[in-house]
Every structure is written in structure tokens, then in C-alpha cells.
Chains A and B, each alone.
Chain A
Amino acid sequence: MEFNSLALDLDEIESKYPENPLDFFRNKKLCLFKACLEKYFPGVRWGIHDLLEELNLDISVCENQSCCSGTFFQRNLITRAQFAAINERNLSELNQQADVVLFSCNGCYNSLLRGRDFLKNPDVKRKTQEILSRLKAKSSGKNYPGKYEILDNPKLKLVHDLDLLYLIRNDVLNTLKFDLKKLKVAVHYGCHYLNLSRDKKTADAYLRDKTKLDELVLLFGGKPVEYQEKEACCGWGASQIVIHPKEALKITYNKLKSAENVDADFMLMPCPTCLYTLSKPEYREKINKYYKEKLDIPTIHINELIAILRGCEEERCITLRRKTPRLDEIYSIITQD
């Protein structure tokens, strides 16, 4: 296994801070990576932001960060070197202001590690530096040393929100006002969390079943349920849902149906792209049209759930998501005294 040194070493934190891993993050600057699809689900951002603020951590966003551009790379609209250059530009800006960057989106997290992995290829690295040097020559904005260089040894570390939440789960639990009232939860990890090798040190860590989201559900007083399509894709499939909608929606349908078959009360996931796919009313309507079945299982991102459980105002947790089926029901059940 080739561990990407940009990934936060969770095992090391657990061994160095066995009493309370949260201590590692004290006096560190944390930055939330802005995932594009958070626009539709602001609670994904506020959920983690408000929690970390309550835990007295130093939290910010980086205004100079662009989209991770993974979607363009995956659709062959930019080369590996261009993708890596966009990535290095973002990493340089983030490295200026943060020690640890947090990701609410599987895709963004994978992209930033992947862009860095591409630099292991000498040809891609040379081309990437050529692009960055061209930027330097044309630079017109604020500059700082090393801005247009490939970072040799960045202090910056990257971590997925789910991994962080799990690491500091006991502190998270202490902030909660409500519990999950034994609701049945169908957990969905998402492909780029389940199948990611870049942040794993051992083959075992890469291959074994992932359980962190299930464990959090249990800890928060819910019941994680097993369902046939648990490890299946949400249907987004690197924009397959846009390009081959009818076919890709079959995957979405199978997933939702499989969760409904075991009477799950809602689906929980750690990625706004999966959330978008599994909850978009237009997709649900198309599923109804193509497969003659109305599926109304609610869908929630782990950050939104934390916000609900912490007793955040409804508007801040799940605003703009009024059309998501039966979400208000779940909100009412959890927040009833």
C-alpha cells in the first residue's frame, strides 16, 4: 500500500492521544474545504462548522480555494498535469492558512489526494511545474514565496469529516441534545470512501468492511440496518446520471428500494454528491416514471444529522431541502422531547 503522506495519520493520533484524540486538534488551524454541492445542502457545512466551534476549535474556510476539478478530470476535459496544477494551487492556498483541511465530500477528498499521487509520475510532475511556472510569470495578484511551486513537504494534512467525527466521537456525543430514538438507519458510505486506498496504510484497512458510520449510528442511539445494496453506488457514477440517466437511475432505484425493503427510516451518508443523487426530487420522479414505484425514504448527510442531534434550528440543519421526502418527519421524531 502506498500511503499518501498528505492524509492525516489517524492511527498515530489515536496512539499519541489515547485519552482524548481531540487534543491533537487544539491549537491547530482547521479549514473546511468548500464542496460545490454544499450549495444545495448548507447544513452539510454548518453542521460540522458549528460542532467544531462548540468544541472550541479554530475553524475557517479558504476564500481562495477553487472547485477540486475532479469532475472535469473524470470526464477527460483536463489532463493529469492540469488537474494536478489546479490541485497544487488549492493546496498552496490552503497550506497558507491551515494545518488540517476537512472534507464533507468523498469526491473532493479523493481528488486532492489523487492530484498529489499523480505527481509521483516524473513526466506529470514536470508538466505540472511547467504550468505553475507559467502562472508565476503572468501573476498579477497577491504573491508569497513558494506559491507557484509544487509543495515539497506541506505541513497541511487532509481528513474526511467522517473519519474526524469518528475519531472524536465521544466529544461529539457530549454535544448532542437528542438521540436517534432507535430509528432504523440504512448507512451508505459512497464509492470513493469505500474504495479509497490512498489514505490507507495497510491492505487490511483498505479491504475490510467499513463500519465507522454504522458505529456512529449505534453510539447516537439508532439501529444501523443491513441491506443488500449497502456497498452499491448511489448512481451518480462520475456523472453517469447526467449522461445515461435512465441506466444510472436503475442503480439509484436499486439502492433506495433495497433500503426500503428492510424498513429503514432514513439513509445516512458522508457525501453531498451521493446525497444529491439519492434525494433529488427530479430523480425520484423519474424513478417513479421508469420503474413504476414511488420511493420516499428520506436521506441525510452525517453533518446534517449531527446538527439535528445537537438541536440546531431546522433552517440551519436542513434548509433548502424542503422537497426531500419525509425529512420533516425524521426531524420531528428526533427532536421531540
Chain B
Amino acid sequence: MVDDIESDDNWNDDFLAELIADVEENRNIIECISCGKCVGECPASKISNFNIRKIIQKILRGDKSVLKEDDIWYCFLCEKCKRVCPREGINIPLLIINLRNESFKKGYGPRYNDLTKYVEMAERFLTSGVVVEEQLGNKLPQEMIDELNEICNFARIKYVFKASKTNKNKRKKRK
């Protein structure tokens, strides 16, 4: 007799319903037949515990532990899983982006200050419109950089940018 086996009583579709409310396409994961082709072809599964088959099973059971665990942050978003999946319409990369959003919202995601490279890239994007120092050719006109800033209002990229400014000020004060 196995004591810790999950009983059907623990299953609920609340988590899935939340994900569908955010991205309708997530409804298609019900069609998953757990064949594991996605895992076999997945680069992230080769180097980490990322296992999309298990993640989908957890979501379908209503188990939100996937939001706390590191695994979802290892996805390469390479879209191979989408190509090899025998079912139609299962969009795993979009599901992962959705899960990461939920994880951020609950405060589990990586802290902004840990995203050092992104701080630099966010800063360049919001001050020059590009993510690498300078492009071949001219810089984006200022009014268009203002437009990009307006588009990104209230986005996490703005908070990352603010974090970079706060860090710089702190460093200046220390000096």
C-alpha cells in the first residue's frame, strides 16, 4: 500500500483556469498525452531538472509548486517542443512565459538586482532604443526613445531600469 500517492480529491482546475484567463491558448494543454517527446528533445532538460511533461501534469492537478521552483527559469524558449509535439495547438514556450509572469507576480521570480545583464540592456533600450551599445548607423531620434518609454510604462523593464539607477546612486554614495 502506498501512502503518499495523490488522490483524485486533491485535483482541481483552479490553476489551469487562472492560466487560461491570462492566455486562452493554455487551454490546449489539456490535450497533452504525456508522451514525453518534448522532454527528449529539450535542451533545458539536458542540463537541469526542467521537465515540461511534469510541469504540465502539475498544472493539470492544480499544483502551484511550479511557480516556486527554479525549473521554469531554465527553459531555452527554443520552440523545439512545439515542433515535436504530436498534439496540435500546445504552445509550451508561451505557457512558460505565462508561468514566469505568475511567478514574478507572487514574488518568487529572480530579483531584479540579480538580472545584472538585463539591467544594462534595459538601460540601453530605454535611453537609445537598442540593447547593444551602439548600432551601425545613427541613433534613434529622441522623440522615438520617448515613445519607447511611454510604451513601457508600468512594465518590469522600467523597474529594472530604476533598480540600475538606485544601484548607481548607492555606489556613488559609498565612494
Contact = CB atoms under 8 A, between A and B. Distances in A.
B157 A251 contact: no
Contacts of A75: 115, 118
A137 to B, nearest CB: 10
Interface of A: 34, 36-40, 42, 45, 61, 63-67, 69, 71-79, 82, 85-86, 89, 121, 131, 134-135, 138-141, 191-192, 194-197, 206-207, 231-233, 237-240, 242-244, 247-248, 250-251
B54 to A, nearest CB: 18
A207 B83 contact: yes
B74 A141 contact: no
Contacts of B75: 237-238
Interface in B22-63: 24, 43-44, 46-48
A205 B24 CA distance: 26
A77 B155 contact: yes
B125 A69 contact: yes
12 contacts: A39-B136, A64-B144, A79-B155, A191-B80, A194-B83, A207-B83, A232-B43, A237-B76, A244-B48, A244-B73, A250-B47, A251-B46
Interface in B5-34: 24
Interface residues of B, number: 52
Nearest to B125: A67
Nearest to B144: A64
B167 interface: no
Most chain A beta carbons < 10 A, residue from B100, B115, B131, B133: B131
Contacts of A76: 97, 100-101, 104, 109, 156
A131 B136 CA distance: 29
A48 B117 CA distance: 30
B64 interface: no
A45 B160 CA distance: 31
A85 B157 contact: no
Contact of B121 (A71, A140, A195): A71
Nearest to A239: B117
Nearest to B139: A63
Contact of B144 (A66, A195, A207, A251): A66
Given A74-B77, A238-B77, A251-B47, A141 B155 contact: no
A36 B130 contact: yes
A134 B77 CA distance: 31
Contacts of B157: 72, 77-78
Nearest to B73: A243
Interface string B127-140: 00111111111101
Contacts of A72: 118, 121-122, 125, 157
Nearest to A235: B43
A255 B71 CA distance: 23
A63 B138 contact: yes
Contact of B150 (A34, A135, A248): A135
A165 to B, nearest CB: 20
A247 B132 CA distance: 24
Nearest to B112: A77
Nearest to A46: B136
Nearest to A132: B151
A250 B46 contact: yes
Given A63-B140, A197-B83, A207-B83, 18 more contacts: A38-B135, A39-B134, A42-B136, A65-B140, A66-B130, A72-B125, A76-B109, A78-B152, A78-B156, A135-B150, A195-B79, A196-B79, A233-B76, A238-B76, A238-B77, A244-B47, A250-B46, A250-B47
A250 B48 CA distance: 11
